[in-house]
Every structure is written in structure tokens, then in C-alpha cells.
Amino acid sequence: MGPLAVNDIISPNTNYFLAFVIGIGFGFVLEQCGFSSSRKLAGLFYGYDTVVLKVFFTGGVTAMLGLLFFSLFGWVDLNLVYVNPTFLTSAIIGGLIMGVGFIMGGFCPGTSFCGAAIGKIDAMLFVVGLFIGVYLFAFGYPLFETMYKALPMGNLKISTALNISDGIFALLLVVMALAMFYVAEWVEKKFPREEY
């Protein structure tokens, strides 16, 4: 949506409205895929259910290919697509904290809201914990600022870091996704699926 708003093709209010509609649609799809179940999500870590890996990898690859082709057709200027700045230390620590929380609680931030929306108490508790964590980080930011801003790498893309073109990186990622899907199928057969 960013290039549309930046180029005044749509207004900022329309941008927010479309984000709201897309968010509701995304939540609906998550719930329909069963991602409101913490057992299904935790199944990825125990090997009996790899749907989470397949769905999110497919979503990432689809978005990447969509942006790449839209750029080739001249429909999107990739220079106007915002890339979050990379701070390596905080990315690693944040990834570890989220990973541990994901394994312990069975939810990531998005799926916890999905579960809470349909009345799952464990998801509601997870959302409360999420807000407590955000609150503690926001008010304790002066204590974390040095660590948070350690090892800045700018608005880095993986293709830039590897010194390859976006097209080659896209090809490699598609091949990797197909290999991961194959391995995921093998893992599911190796670890029988529990009924839930």
C-alpha cells in the first residue's frame, strides 16, 4: 500500500481503510486455517503438523514474487517500499524471546489475536502478556536503548547482503521453499499427527 499512498494514488485515509479490511481478511484466513489453535501452531516445533511453515512460507514467497513482478511491469517502485532498518543485536534477542514465547504459549502475536477473537482463553492471556511486554519495553526503553540500537545495518535486504540480484534471490528462495515443503512432509510422516 505504501507506494500508492506515497504517490497520492490513494489518500492516507483510504490506505488505513484498506489496511483494516486486509487485516480482517488475514485474520479470517488464519482462523480458517486452524491457526487459532495453539496445539496446531506448537505442532510445528514437535514435528506432527507443519501447516504453519507451509502457509507462512507460501505467503512470503507469494508477496516477494508479487512485488518482483509488479516492479518488472512498472506497477510498483521498489525504492518506495519501506524496509525496516536492521539492528542485528535486537533482532537476534527479539527473535529468541518470540521463539521461546511461541513454543511456551503456542501463539505468535498475530495468531494470539485470532484466537482471542473467537474466545480462546489461552490466546487472551497471551495477548495480555503481549501488552505487558510492550508496556515494559516502552517505559524501560532508556535501559534497553543501547542494546536495541547495537550493530545497525541500515535498511538491509538479504539480496543486497549476499550481493546478488533480487531475481536470483527469489529463485533461490523458491527452490528453498520447495525443499522445505518436501522435508516438512517427511517430518510429518516421521512424527505421527496427534488428534486435536
In a domain, 104, yes or no: yes
Residue 52 located in a structural domain: yes
In a domain, 78, yes or no: yes
- What residue numbers bound the domain in which 76 lies? 2-190
150 found inside a domain: yes
Pick from 193, 196, 195: which is nearest to 50 by CA? 193
What is the length of the chain?
196
Residue 196 forms part of a structural domain:
no
Q: What is the pLDDT along the chain (196 residues), one digit of tens a residue?
A: 446 777 788 888 898 999 999 989 988 888 888 888 888 888 888 888 888 888 888 989 999 999 999 998 888 888 888 888 999 999 999 999 988 888 888 888 888 998 898 999 999 999 999 999 999 999 999 999 999 999 999 888 889 889 999 999 999 999 999 999 999 989 888 877 655 5
Residue 68 lies in a domain: yes
What pLDDT is recorded for position 194?
57
pLDDT at 56: 85
**pLDDT at residue 1, as a whole number:** 44
The letter for the amino acid at 29 is V
- Does a structural domain hold residue 195? no
**The overall pTM is greater than 0.85:** no
Nearest to 184 by CA among 195, 193, 172: 193
Burial, 49: exposed, middle or buried (Cβ in 10 Å; 0-12, 13-18, 19+)? buried
Q: Which one-letter DSSP state was computed for residue 19?
A: H
**pLDDT score, position 42:** 80
Asked, for residue 117, whether it belongs to a domain, the answer is yes
Give pairs for 85-88: CB < 8 Å, separation 24+.
85/152, 85/153, 85/154, 85/155, 85/156, 86/152, 86/153, 86/154, 86/155, 86/156, 87/148, 87/149, 87/150, 87/151, 87/152, 87/153, 88/150, 88/151, 88/152, 88/153
Q: How many domains does the chain have?
A: 1
